[in-house]
Amino acid sequence: MRPEIAVLDIQGQYRVYTEFYRADAAEKTIILVNGSMATTASFAQTVKNLHPQFNVVCYDQPYAGKSKAHNLHEKLLTKEVEGQILLELIDHFAAEHVLSFSWGGAATLVALAHQPRRIEKAVISSFSPEINAHMLDYLERGVDYLGSRDGDRVGNLVNSTIGKHLPTLFKRFNYRHVSSLADHEYGQMHFHISDLLHSDRQCFFKAAQQINVPVLFMNGEWDEYTAAEGARLFADHVQQATFTTLEATGHFLDMEHKAACRDSRNALLGFLKPAQHESRPRYHYVQDHHALAI
Confidence of residue 277 (pLDDT cuts 50, 70, 90): low
% pLDDT > 90, the chain: 88
Paired with 163 in beta bridges are: none
Strands (E) across 47-101 are located at 55-59, 97-101
pLDDT in tens, 133-154: 999 999 999 999 999 999 999 9
pLDDT in tens, 9-50: 999 999 999 999 999 999 999 999 999 889 999 999 999 999
Nearest 5°: the CA angle 241, 135, 79 is 60
Q: Model's pTM, two decimal places? A: 0.92
Please give the pLDDT value at position 199.
80
Q: What is the DSSP string of 3-62?
A: PEEEEEEETTTEEEEEEEE--TT---EEEEEPPTT--GGGGHHHHHHHTTTSEEEEE--T
Q: Are 55 and 28 in contact (CB under 8 A)?
A: yes
Please give the pLDDT value at position 125.
98
Q: How many CB atoms are closer than 10 A to CB 266?
A: 19
CA distances in angstroms from 262 to 11, 24, 75, listed in the order given: 39, 24, 40
> Please, what is the average pLDDT of the chain?
92
Confidence of residue 283 (pLDDT cuts 50, 70, 90): very low
Please give the pLDDT value at position 275.
77
pLDDT in tens, 46-86: 999 999 999 999 999 999 999 999 999 999 999 999 999 99
pLDDT in tens, 114-130: 999 999 999 999 999 99
Amino acid type, 114: H
pLDDT in tens, 181-214: 999 999 999 999 999 998 877 999 999 999 999 9
Please give the pLDDT value at position 286.
42
Please give the pLDDT value at position 278.
52
